[in-house]
Structure 1
Amino acid sequence: MEVFLELIRYTVPSMVMLIFTLLLVRWFLKSENDRRKQELLMGQNMNSLPMRIAAYERLTLFLERISAESIIIREQPHARTVKELQANLLKAIRTEYEHNMAMQVHLPPRTWMMVRNAKEEMIKTVNISANMVKPGDASMALGKTILEQFPNTANYHFKKALDSLKTDVQSFYNL
């Protein structure tokens, strides 16, 4: 019995020490693993940041290019009638959108939805304005009608989308 007690006397402290050491090693390995994951994520963010900023720049340019003033100045010289200008404007908006569609992978879904809404509002403004003038009139009549309608409708969506893009980019610098 005395041998058994002597054995327990040496074994129990050794077991406590072993368990304490195992828990300490486990905690250290977990913390080291978390640190490495964080370093990897930071490295990935630093590598992808230039691409993300380029996406925001391209989408800002997209919104500027499809704004009423910009697109009418660019497309009006190529059209003679309202119908031709309407077709040219819609084609230009859709082409610009398709050209920049891949940039959505770099944006939060909410921001991308605002960019899409701005595009849709511009298309709607063109179509509504085209219905307000005669199809055979000079293209200048459609341009004038769009510019009169634009501040009341699509401008709100353009401003909202641009503000969202700016807010997202600012969050990159506030890390």
Structure 2
Amino acid sequence: MIESPLFPYAFALLIAAPFLIYTRQFVYTYIKLKKQQINLLTVKGQSEQRIHAYERITLFLERLKPANLVTKFDSSLAAHEYLFLVEKTINEEFDYNASQQLYLTKNSWSKVVNCKNSVLHLLHKTYENLSNESTLQDFKTVFLMNYMNEDDYISSCIEDLRKENLIIN
């Protein structure tokens, strides 16, 4: 039998090859599982942000309800002062929550904007239709009655958000 000088190297390669193949397979499998884990964490994080957005917008809409607006501010204010403060509060809170539109569907966000604009419009319409002798209590009463005579678009929007959130998550 002729012994070649390459025989030890061939023998070492023959023994090392299965270990190299198994190590390669282990590394690729490990990398694949880590990628899946990162993807799951990313989806979970986005889901949590979306839920948080729906919570914040729902809270905004609840605060937008006329029954909650009439309890704001001092009752000694004049109607025009109250109107100014409520409008300012609504716009500030809307601006604060504007970034949440990234997590809502376009349709839902437009409903939220419509709710805000409808309440502001109703506030101004109520103020314009009151006489100059009307008190703030009169304004609030008429405002509530005007809202009750219309469709409850705020509750409808909240219900749509609830349904959409269930579908998405």
Q: Which range, TM-score by smaller chain?
A: 0.7 to 0.9
The answer to whether the 8 A contact 1:83-1:136 is kept is no
Give the TM-score, by structure 2 length: 0.72
In the TM superposition, what are the counterparts of 1:8-157 in structure 2 within 5 Å? Answer: 42-75=40-73, 77=74, 80-135=77-132, 137-153=134-150, 155-157=151-153
> Number of paired residues?
138
Deviation >3 Å, runs of 4+: 36-43
Quick check: 1:83–1:135 contact (8 Å CA) kept in 2? Answer: no
Q: Distance in 1 between matches of 2:76 and 2:49?
A: 37
Q: Is the 8 A contact 2:58 2:158 kept in 1?
A: yes
Query: Which piece of structure 1 moves more, 36-45 or 85-94?
Result: 36-45
Unaligned runs of 5+ in 2: 1-31
- Judging changes above 3 Å, is the alpha-carbon distance between structure 1 residues 123 and 54 closer, same or farther for their aligned structure 2 residues? same
- What stretches of structure 1 of length at least 5 have no aligned partner? 1-32
Cα distance in 2 for partners of 1:84, 1:136 equals: 15
**Contact in 1 for aligned 2:75/2:136 (Cα 8 Å):** no
Task: Classify the secondary structure of the residue corresponding to 2:71.
Answer: helix
Q: Which residue of 1 aligns with 2:162?
A: 166
Q: Which has the higher contact order (CA 8 A, sep 6+)?
A: 2
- Separation in structure 1 between the aligned mates of residue 164 and residue 49 of structure 2, nearest angstrom: 14
Please state whether the residue corresponding to 2:143 is helix, strand or coil: helix
CA RMSD of aligned residues (A): 2.3
- Tell me how far apart the structure 1 counterparts of residues 142 and 130 of structure 2 sit (CA, whole Å): 8
* TM-score, with structure 1 as normaliser: 0.70
